[in-house]
Chains A and B, each alone.
Chain A
Amino acid sequence: MGLFLTSLVLCVAGALAGAALPARVRVPISSSLGALGCLLAVVVAMRILITGNDASFHSAQLLPMTGLSFTIDPLAAWFILASSFVGAAACLYNVGYAKGAMSSRTALSLFMVFVLTLLMVPAASSVMSLMFCWELMALSSLLLILTDQVHHREARSAALWYGAMTQFGAACILLGLLVMTSGAAGQSFADLSASSSSLSPTGRSFAFALVLLGFASKAGAVPLHVWLPKAHPEAPSPVSALMSSSMVAMGVYGIIRVGDDLLHGGTIWWWIAVALFGVVSAFYGALHATTSTDLKRLLAYSTIDIVGLVLIGVGAAGALRDTGQPTAAHLAMSAALLLVLAHAAFKGALFLAAGAVERATGTRDLDLLGGLLHAMPVTGLVVALSAASIMAVPTLSGFSGEWLLLQGLLHGFDASSTPTVIVMLLGVIALALTGGLTAVAFVKAFGIGFLGQPRSAGARDAHEVAPSMKVAMAWLVVPSVVLGVVPGVVVPLLDHATSTALGSSLASPLERGTGLVVARLGGAIEPAAVLVGVVGVMALVWLFNQSLAQRRARRVEAWGCGRDQATARMQYTATSFAEPLQRVFADVLRPQSDVEVTHVAESRYYEQSLMYENRVVDVLEARGYRPIIAVALRVGRGARALQNGSIHRYLAFGFVALVLILVVVG
């Protein structure tokens, strides 16, 4: 535990350094302190995951009234691992990235506070500690979104959406936890866990529903996701990376911690609700990711997609455990946890790379990018590998997670309860539907952004970014490769976390080894062998190529459709690439497109100019949230009539209120 506290202290020191030191040195010093703290936290988390022993700490002084208490069990350690690994990369990246607004005192110290809270949230082990860390995390990230308002016009509106949703979520969580504390001896998680069986079933379900709403809104589950594709893109890139990879995971952590650990399961309907959140999120997120043209917005929607898959795993695990299928439950929960870690790494890498692209070209609109692989080979390779991982290319981490999830769902079909089986079916369908859509989204992101010809001056003049940013991005590719090629090495760690989450003492169905083997169910993958095969065949082909008479290729013009050469404007853009799918799913996406033709004054047969506009707005936002906001505003304006500034009226209000209270109390 001492080591963990040291890592927290280092983050605090980073925050202080960011606030106090002179401009020239504060970026490297503050960021390196944060990175060091995160690296220490990685070590702590790994140690707890390997040994499976808890570590705890309590201080009455640090938080008034209740004190601050931390307990790191393997489940918490798993999420700390995810956030500290990305945190280290984000801090290192910030050394090269922080310029202008991001290098201000406020931004730097808030950034360190944000990193700090991401380490503390999973460790918190009492209601007040959790809420304190949670709110600090929400507020610091909220302010960080507002860092660069000059260049990001949308930042204010995004911050408003985020602020409203996160406060709504926090209120729900607090209320739910308070319901749970009502019968408990204290407010520590141990007390809550011990007394949860004394709560009435309705009370437990009510508490879980509230907590689920709160955590699901932080995880970005549809329909509580509207803030996510607005807020994540507008934040500075190291912050977006942490928000999308680690903060979103905190929502998942909360659901597992409260539902599985503190409330010990409950009814299967809870878990069916969680899984349904997942199914809808996976499909909706994947679909919007395919049509987004803003690189960071695309990544944000894809986060919703992966969170959906994670929630399917968590929901399936809960439902299966409660219907007596512990093996399948274990597999589903392991899949969810593995996906959390894999997602943290590849989505962190992708957001950092998106920041590098924005820094190099001045834009993140895919329609204005192209050909970046020539100028930015390292960033390009990072994007290619991370995108391949998210597309579930075998031998990369995304595939390991999805395979494990499919094993869980497949064996969940043996469950005797029909609702559970229906959830498994929906999960399989969601997994199948998102697979293809994700491939489209990320072939688009890499193919349009990094291949072809540059579509704007910014993309033409792009250059590779600072070394620290390159190292940070490369660091986040490591887990994608390790979890993909030899997923077996994390199985012992994963088993500790899964067993803690499900509260089971059963032997794990996963065998020890380099690949993933579920011997009891006859399923196995050995990605290392597949990789050797693929690389071997490619090497043979390369040797064959070398043996041919002509080894070097002659550069020629590409086919220009009858013109001299193909110009950059003739290429497909991100919008046109996704247009067929947008048309296929028009019923869900409701795209709006306008064509405006101006004719030459002399003749209607000649066109002077042509304007085409295509927009895809979030349907749930337009149809679900806007009306509610409109009503709230109307009520607010109506309430204004009560206030006319007259002191007599206010005194009368006070008098009436007093009388009412006396009547009610008396």
Chain B
Amino acid sequence: MSRAAGLVALGLIALLVLAALAGLVTAGGEGGSYGRTSYIVGLIRISLIQAALSAATSLVVGAAIALALARRTRFPGRHALIAALNVATVLPAIVTVFAIVAVFGRSGWLADIAGWLGIDYGSWVFGLDGVVIAHILLNAPLAARVFLAGLASISPEQWRLASQLGMPPSALFRLIDLPVLIREAPGIGALMFLACFTSFAIVLALGGGPAVSTLEVAIYEAVRFEADFRGAAVLAVLQVAVAAILLAPVAFLLTRRAPEAMPTGLGADRPDIKARSMRVFDGAVLVAAALFVGVPLATIALSGIGAVGSLFDRAVLEALGTSLAIGIAAGLLSVGLGFSIALLSRELRFRAGRPRLAGIVSLSALLILVISPITLSAGLFVVLRPHADPFALAAPLIVIVNALMALPFTYRHIEPPLLLSFERFGRLADSLGMRAWTRFVLTDWPLLRSPLIVGLTMATALSLGDLGVAAFFGTGDVVTLPLLLYSRLGAYRTDEAASVALLLTLLVLALFLVAQRWSGGWFARAR
């Protein structure tokens, strides 16, 4: 039974993806889009470099933030910092671009400060640097969240033992923290790599020119300008293939975990919280993180506040309702799929003794991210349209595509606690002959509750900020907030658009605050 749901979920996803690709192939086109070999190879090459850089730096930054938060469980503003970090992970691409530019651009805050100090600042933010900075803003907090959950699972015994042995902070890091970070890194690293590999609007806007772009540009071009749907399908498959080939060797790492023993939490057990060097390190990291995330968010608030009156409008309220309905539906679907697949992966890993197969299942949940949303949207549209009214189709299709796009993120939150609960309680539950439901309630649920809520929130928030899919299916009835934002920008209403960006950001912030409270303060908990 616990396998059936996962198989159904995977089957459903495979069916949707294959149907979309088949739909596109039958929709025609000359296939010329992939004929320009050196162009395509060049796009893949720069995408790989950019994604590797973005993911690697995000891992390091995320680890530093997670360690600092793990040691400092009580300080004024911790809740606010965590909320801000959460919001940063789901900012819509266009909002991210403008926030980054408002801070790092030639007329941004840093330039102002530099000018004040008499330093020539220039406009360096456009190029690979700017793209990587924007990706760190989106990804490092995500990595921090996953790392922090991992660090919270270190048993107090280990800390007590380390304390008795009088280990210095460096040894604690090497022997206790680092193994946890290394254990979590492949999963979250792969996720961030893929997200940056297919990142599109950010890469184009901040890339500084076509030398820095991604394969997604070619797919977009094929669908919209050339009506080369077949070519788009081929490029989409190529994109998945490249990602799969790169990640296949590490697939089994995605579910490899050290056995765990005891219940957990962040707390005062760490012997290194009193070390002065760690105080300095943590202080510096937390201040830097607060500035790095807080200042861009502050710019969103500042530029949005001017035209905040334009939000009290029927069109905005309707878009808000539509976005929330779609976002929550997509979030629930995404969590449902993620939970089913994670359960399957766990069964394969522990019951069937097939860790490699379990890794492949995990990898497939990740790879959805690489299937370009415009391909999926356009393909499903072609397949379903003859059988249903497109106006009625729009909302469900947006929900489905958004749920799939958010799946890798929800999965990353759900899988680790599921594995952990089995490692801790699996044998005990077996020996007691617990039945599925009892077992779920007693062993899985306590560990799973917070990650499920966080995953749901993240998927909902990602869907709220989505433009691509909504723009394609959008009809007069289905106007989402990002579409409204673009329509205001397109009508020169920059200030009014900024206020929609502010509304989106506040909405996401509210979601995360509710989630933090609901999930029992997963991050914030000091035992």
Partners in one complex: no
Interface residues of B (CB under 8 A from A): none
Interface residues of A (CB under 8 A from B): none
